[in-house]
């Protein structure tokens, strides 16, 4: 049985390897030799792999639905294939994302997120390297720090800093990733016990020439991969309104510090019944948010118009929660106005209704609602919705 399973695993690996090889060969044929060829090949590989990966996901989903008819070894093979598929999909997305950041300019898409998720994703990306180097990674962070960032770009910055720290460390050394937040600033630091960086090298550490040839910022050397390089990491942090700084003592280690703006989320609650709006605002109090209450759809639109966000300094509207049954302009009409305006279309809208109607629910989601809750609103359901949309929940939730 074990031999059959290993053979089947090998077959799955061959399928994925063949797809990647075909993509590489096709990319090499159509891309002229010369400077920039590796990056252009990367984009073609990612593009060519998207269709087979999507098709493969559908096939694996169908197999998973029939899991009760599969033998244990067959089910294990399906799980193995899903794991490989997820890994390839993540790698393709990272390659495409990094190519765009490197060549098309850094354009962050900020939103409020659970910082623990970003930290966890970065740690997963460097886990194998840390294990191979026998370096211990410790995390010092609140359980769920709220961050206002582009999560994919911040993840890549953390991966770059962690890889540099790991590769500068000796077996048994500790690398510490810490996160702290204040009312105005979020700070993430990566601290190591490595070889450190001399003053002369620190002077141009974030210059474009500093780490484009595989040289680790902390004095070691590593193979080139999909990591960003410190110059691009610094550009990404700056594009998100922050700073990337380094402190280092040769022979004692280094500390890289990312500082980012940390504005409060702003929520507009729209309800013509003041008591209902007051109740929702009370539920949000532990979340340290700014709540704007509007008694009509037109008043909500005024609040949205006045809430143009300085991308990193706060001031914008991050969520709208509106009752459906209101006079003059009901919740559906307000949703239509919000979704139809390019300046507000990205703001999630939660619809509230006292009528348990599937037709209303379907209509709301088709129009672009982010969620749909029944009145009277139950606190756990309401807070779960806010947590999903803004990446934050009250302590102990």
- Tens-place pLDDT, residues 248-266: 988 889 999 999 998 888 9
pLDDT range class, residue 304, cuts 50, 70, 90: confident
Q: How far is CA 259 from CA 239, 245, 255, in A?
A: 12, 8, 13
My answer on whether 246 and 288 are in the same domain is: no
My answer on whether 250 and 152 are in the same domain is: yes
Average pLDDT score over residue span 326-347: 90
186: in domain: yes
- Residue finishing a domain among 231, 261, 291: 261
- Residue finishing a domain among 103, 121, 139: 103
Average pLDDT along the chain: 77
Contact 271, 295 (CB under 8 A): yes
3-state secondary structure of 314: strand
Model confidence at 294: pLDDT above 90: yes
pTM flag (> 0.85): no
My answer on whether 69 and 137 are in the same domain is: no
Contacts 24+ apart (CB under 8 A), 5-12: 5/73, 5/76, 5/77, 8/73, 8/74, 8/77, 9/77, 9/80, 12/77, 12/80, 12/81, 12/84
Q: Determine how many CB atoms are found less than 10 A away from the CB of residue 81.
A: 22
My answer on whether 316 and 246 are in the same domain is: no
My answer on whether 257 and 120 are in the same domain is: yes
Containing structural domain, residue 61:
2-103
- Give the model's pLDDT for residue 192: 93
314: in domain: yes
Among the ranges given (105-119, 143-157, 200-214, 331-345), the one the predictor scored with the smallest mean pLDDT: 200-214
List the one residue out of 193, 197, 161 whose CA is nearest residue 177: 161
396: in domain: no
My answer on whether 243 and 336 are in the same domain is: no
Tell me the pLDDT tens digit for each residue of 114-159: 899 999 999 988 888 888 899 999 999 887 888 999 888 899 899 9
Tell me the pLDDT tens digit for each residue of 7-53: 444 444 444 444 444 444 444 344 444 444 445 555 555 556 666 76
- Give the model's pLDDT for residue 196: 86
My answer on whether 283 and 375 are in the same domain is: yes
- Residue finishing a domain among 103, 137, 160: 103
Average pLDDT score over residue span 199-220: 57
Contacts of 161 (CB under 8 A, 6+ apart): 190, 233, 256, 258
Model confidence at 227: pLDDT above 50: no
């Amino acid at each position: 049985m074990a031999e059959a399973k290993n053979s089947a695993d090998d077959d799955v690996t061959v399928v994925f390897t063949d797809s990647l090889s075909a993509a590489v060969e096709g990319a090499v044929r159509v891309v002229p030799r010369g400077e920039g060829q590796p990056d252009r090949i990367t984009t073609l590989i990612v593009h060519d792999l998207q269709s087979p990966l999507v098709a493969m996901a559908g096939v694996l989903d169908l197999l998973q639905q029939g899991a009760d008819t599969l033998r244990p070894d067959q089910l294990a093979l399906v799980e193995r294939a899903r794991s490989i598929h997820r890994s390839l999909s993540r790698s393709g997305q990272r390659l495409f994302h990094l190519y765009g950041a490197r060549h098309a300019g850094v354009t962050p898409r900020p939103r409020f997120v659970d910082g623990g998720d970003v930290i966890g994703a970065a740690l997963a990306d460097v886990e194998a390297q840390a294990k191979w180097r026998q370096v211990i990674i410790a995390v010092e962070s609140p359980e769920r720090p709220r961050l206002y960032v582009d999560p994919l770009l911040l993840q890549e910055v953390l991966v770059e800093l962690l890889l540099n720290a790991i590769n500068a460390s000796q077996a048994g050394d500790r690398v510490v990733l810490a996160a702290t937040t204040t009312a105005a600033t979020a700070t993430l630091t990566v601290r190591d016990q490595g070889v450190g960086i001399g003053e002369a090298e620190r002077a141009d550490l974030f210059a474009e020439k500093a780490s484009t040839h595989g040289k680790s910022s902390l004095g070691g050397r590593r193979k080139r991969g999909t990591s960003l390089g410190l110059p691009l990491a610094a550009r990404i942090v700056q594009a998100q309104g922050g700073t990337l700084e380094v402190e280092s003592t040769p022979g004692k280690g280094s500390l890289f510090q990312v500082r980012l703006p940390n504005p409060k989320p702003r929520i507009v609650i729209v309800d013509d019944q003041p008591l209902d709006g007051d109740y929702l605002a009370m539920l949000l109090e532990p979340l340290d948010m700014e709540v704007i209450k509007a008694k009509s759809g037109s008043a909500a639109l005024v609040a949205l118009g006045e809430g143009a966000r300085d991308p990193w300094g706060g001031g914008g509207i991050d969520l709208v929660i509106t009752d459906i049954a209101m006079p003059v302009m009901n919740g559906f009409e307000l949703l239509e106005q919000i979704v139809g305006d390019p300046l507000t279309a990205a703001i999630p809208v939660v619809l509230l209704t006292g009528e348990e109607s599937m037709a209303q629910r379907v209509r709301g989601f088709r129009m672009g609602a982010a969620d749909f809750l029944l009145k009277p609103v139950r606190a756990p359901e309401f807070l779960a919705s806010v947590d999903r949309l803004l990446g934050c929940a009250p302590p102990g939730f």
